[in-house]
Amino acid sequence: MLKSTLLEAIHEAAAQMRSFIDQDFKVENKIGINNLVTEVDHASERVIIETIKRNFPEHHILSEECGDLIQDSQYKWIIDPIDGTVNFAHRIPICCISIGIEYNGKMAMAAIYNPFMHELYFAERDKGAVLNDKPISVSKKEKVENACLVTGFPYTYLDEPNGPLQVFERFIRKGIPVRRLGSAAIDLAVDHASERVIIETIKRNFPEHHILSEECGDLIQDSQYKWIIDPIDGTVNFAHRIPICCISIGIEYNGKMAMAAIYNPFMHELYFAERDKGAVLNDKPISVSKKEKVENACLVTGFPYTYLDEPNGPLQVFERFIRKGIPVRRLGSAAIDLAWVAAGRFDGFYEHKLEAWDSAAGFLLVEEAGGKVSDLKGNPYNPYQPGIIASNGLMHKELVDWVTGNINN
């Protein structure tokens, strides 16, 4: 009865999240920096608590929005109706419902559900953990230097000894990938297999076309067409089974991006754009966000592990945003970063060092979705130079000023 009630509650909350995701909904600020609550948080919490009270009216409940509903009980339900509210508010599908059940002061049962990735995690004390009913276990890595880590930033305590920024910089300087939801370059057989079938398909139909691909390099032909390929963008994520990775292919015609596709097979999201014909996600038109100010934005970036000590380098720019409470995500796939700007999930993206295969397809997607792409100084962009800023266009000049350090001017 306890497990069935837990799962019923979490699915009822998921239904609320799904029903609101394509609608406008009310968003408010709570106390603190970038501490949001939406009407969906309240709706999710309400159905969870109703489900619990219907079956266990005597149980103690502690929930993020309504606080402590104290009962004299050995059982306490600890609820986050939407963990990742900032993400949810921006339609970024990295968010979940989280419910734990405490018995006599000790965690006894837990469920975490991301309804957009269709991932339901469940654990019961002394009975193991499962993902979608299949047993899961932690990784076998023994050294931090070989790890892929994840963290968050509280927007406070930044200047404390050994605070969030200091710890983050410590890992980045060692090339240890830290995601915020490498020598971190990983060469996988899957990259080569993916690249091989892509190139075989192109050559079968267009043997005269020029191809530039991440693994095999430049297959030069005297052609007006060039295919720019990243067979797996987000290889570190893929190697760690993190489902934020994709295939990215752009087609250049006479030196200008003409067509692009980015596909995340794990989230079943296929982005496509054609010059002057707009951009789509799974055949539905997409457009960039309407935010006008960087201070209200949700941004995304990446770290090249080089240029860290350059003036206005990656760590300095990142710190500039974090100190102002502006959320900056780090997903580990530039192509997805750009696709999500095109879809209006992120309001802007910047990175100091990319290759052509990282940005070619996403560059066209953003432009065709109504956004703007430039180099780090705001000049016209091309995929063969390293720095990039992409935005919804409305805040582009201001975002360039933030990245260049000219915001106070």
Domains 2-135 and 289-404 share a fold: no
Phi, psi angle pair for 323, to nearest 5°: -65, -20
Q: At what angle do helices 2-20 and 39-55 cross, to 10 degrees?
A: 160
Of the candidate ranges 158-162, 201-205, 292-296, the one whose mean pLDDT is the lowest: 158-162
Report the amino acid identity of residue 13: A
Determine contact, residues 344/286, Cβ cutoff 8 Å.
Answer: yes
pLDDT at 183: 32
Rounded Cα–Cα distance for residues 357 and 182 (Å): 16
Rounded Cα–Cα distance for residues 65 and 168 (Å): 30
Burial 76-95 (b: 16+ CB within 10 A, else e): bbbbbbbbbbbbbbbbbbbb
pLDDT at 271: 98
Q: What does CATH list as the number for 289-404?
A: 3.40.190.80
Determine contact, residues 121/131, Cβ cutoff 8 Å.
Answer: yes
Burial 185-200 (b: 16+ CB within 10 A, else e): ebeeeebeebbeebbe
12-51 per-position pLDDT tens digit: 999 999 988 777 877 777 665 556 778 888 999 999 999 9
Q: Which helix (H) or strand (E) holds 173?
A: helix 164-173
Region 301-308 average pLDDT: 76
| Residue 255: Cβ-neighbour burial (10 angstroms; 0-12, 13-18, 19+) | exposed
pLDDT at 219: 78
Degrees to nearest 5, angle at CA 206 with 201 and 210: 100
Rounded Cα–Cα distance for residues 131 and 23 (Å): 29
Phi, psi angle pair for 25, to nearest 5°: -145, 160
Does residue 187 surpass a pLDDT of 60?
no
Closest CA to 226 of 245, 190, 199, 246: 199
Does residue 174 surpass a pLDDT of 90?
no
Sequence spans of domains, the chain:
2-135, 189-285, 289-404
Does residue 185 surpass a pLDDT of 60?
no
Rounded Cα–Cα distance for residues 352 and 330 (Å): 13
Phi, psi angle pair for 397, to nearest 5°: -60, -40
Closest CA to 88 of 27, 165, 171: 27
Q: Which residue has the higher pLDDT, 101 or 160?
A: 101
Q: What does CATH list as the number for 2-135?
A: 3.30.540.10
Distance of CA 256 to the CA centre of its chain: 28
Token code pair at residue 396? 């582009």
Which three-class secondary structure state does DSSP give residue 156?
coil
Determine contact, residues 155/32, Cβ cutoff 8 Å.
Answer: yes
Rounded Cα–Cα distance for residues 4 and 209 (Å): 57
Mean pLDDT (the chain) is 89
The pLDDT confidence band at residue 186, using thresholds 50, 70 and 90, is very low
**Radius of gyration for the chain, computed over Cα atoms and rounded to the nearest angstrom:** 23
Note the pTM of the prediction, 2 decimals.
Answer: 0.85
Rounded Cα–Cα distance for residues 218 and 228 (Å): 9
Token code pair at residue 154? 């509280």
Which residues lie across from 300 on neighbouring strands? 329, 349
Rounded Cα–Cα distance for residues 254 and 306 (Å): 32
Domain 189-285 class in CATH:
alpha beta
Token code pair at residue 200? 């075989």
